[in-house]
Amino acid sequence: MLNLLGSEYRLCDGISRRDFLQIGSLGAAGLALPDLLGARAAGANRANPSDKAKSCILLFMRGGPGQQDTWDLKPGAPAEIRGEFKPIATNVAGIQISEHFPLSARHAEKYIIIRSVHHGRDAEPEHQPSVHRMLTGNRQVVRQREARKDDYPHLGSTLARVRSRRSPIPAFIAVGKFPEPEPGTTAGFLGSLYEPFTIDQNPNAANFRVQDLLALRGDVPLERMAGRRGLLNAVNREMDQLVQSGAPAVMGNHYEKALDLLGSPKVHEGFNLTGEPAQLRDRYGRNTFGQGVLLARRLVEHGVPLVTVNFWTTCDPKVHWDTHEKNFSQMKGSLMPSTDRAYSALLDDLSARGLLEETLVVWMGEMGRTPRINSAAGRDHWVNCMSVVLAGGGIAGGRVYGASDAHAAYPKDNPLDYRDLFTSIYSCLGVDPHTELPDAQGRPLRICNGQVIPALVG
């Protein structure tokens, strides 16, 4: 994963993933990515039927949004349960959501609200294991705070591994920095070749650009690519003995592809937000998250299979969805308005461009929040029931799947295990959820162990 300008924040509980290959003066010249491209060219299980979603945008609400304040309000519950927010009608009869999602309420025909997702009664209600479960669809055997090489891979890493594609743009891009390294945010046992290409810069900044990420060295402009090709040829001649002794004969080709990535106009155009009309940028919201979501739309339009946008803000790096205190002031003040604006703009924009049917949009966090409000006017961790929203990707909208009890504490109808959710997501993306991939020791591991829910994805 490439990182630039990291932004730190901590929740209540608390190059590093892949050094670019350097061979003599090759590293000084800023060349990179050949082994990455080579491994991906080797391929794996290929799957992407034409009738399945081509791309996925994952909007990850880091910290865990309260289900009873967003998509599953309980106006009939006692005050200490229902909280301050009121439900409003959507444009689909019978479906209500929070009053602080007024723009999203106008697009209910495009999405399905799942109100019965749960982690299992014995699941740890902590951030790290919950993030791992909700980004990989699998449970850790041993709980820990930091990522390990034997973790299950992020959905995007798995998709990058199994998808067959020809594009200079990375297959898995993460917009927004996670506290790193955390379980579930990395490629895990797939290896560092499938780590996300991470954009830590603020896409709302006037000087936002990723050219430095792509060029790798700020003092080496793209105009010097031709000179690098000459250097490449010289290095390849020196590597003939390595090739003859068993080194991959295609290594030179992968360096050539790496140069194509660095100099590709398509790559740079995909990251160029200045090409978007000012009015459209305003609709997404002139804030970090809003412009990150717009960037995600632009990237899937340029052929990126999965883009995840991790919610974080520029006004205060400590603002996230882990609302143990002042839940309602935080939700209505900064969290929900920016989310509502960006989410509704994304659905409208994808639909207008004819991209919604081929783009699965997933809205979720790692957990829900406790039904009862605590003494600090907040809600604490809760993994027994949460809401997830899916749109596009062939999923029929205008529906609610599952139901929670009177306090949004436990599923009442159609409980959905997180593993079944992930298996269904893989199915929408044309990936066989029974696919097995080798871990670091070569042992085959199934990418997901749930079941496809036909009523959910039909």
Phi, psi torsion values for 216, nearest 5 degrees: 70, -40
Of the candidates 305, 311, 295, the one whose C-alpha atom is nearest the C-alpha of residue 131 is: 311
pLDDT tens-digit readout, 154-175: 999 999 999 877 777 889 999 9
pLDDT tens-digit readout, 209-233: 875 556 544 444 545 545 555 554 5
- Cβ atoms within 10 Å, residue 126: 18
Distances (CA, A) of 122 to 119, 270, 414, 423: 8, 43, 19, 21
pTM for this one? 0.84
Q: What is the DSSP letter of 149?
A: T
**Residue 188: exposure state from Cβ atoms within 10 A (0-12, 13-18, ≥19):** buried
Q: What angle do CA 177, 104, 384 make, to 5 degrees?
A: 65
Kind and range of the H or E run holding 138: none
Write down the domain spans for the chain.
Answer: 52-205+278-457
Helix (H, G, I), strand (E, B) or coil at 391: strand
Please report, as a single letter, which amino acid is at residue 10.
R
Mean pLDDT on 354-375 = 98
Length of the chain: 458
**Least confident interval from 22-26, 119-123, 192-196, 317-321:** 22-26
pLDDT tens-digit readout, 113-128: 999 999 998 899 999 9
* Domain 52-205+278-457: CATH class, spelled out: alpha beta
pLDDT at 134: 97
Q: For residue 249, how far is the Cα from the chain centroid?
A: 35
pLDDT tens-digit readout, 243-285: 444 444 434 444 444 555 556 677 778 899 998 999 999 999 9
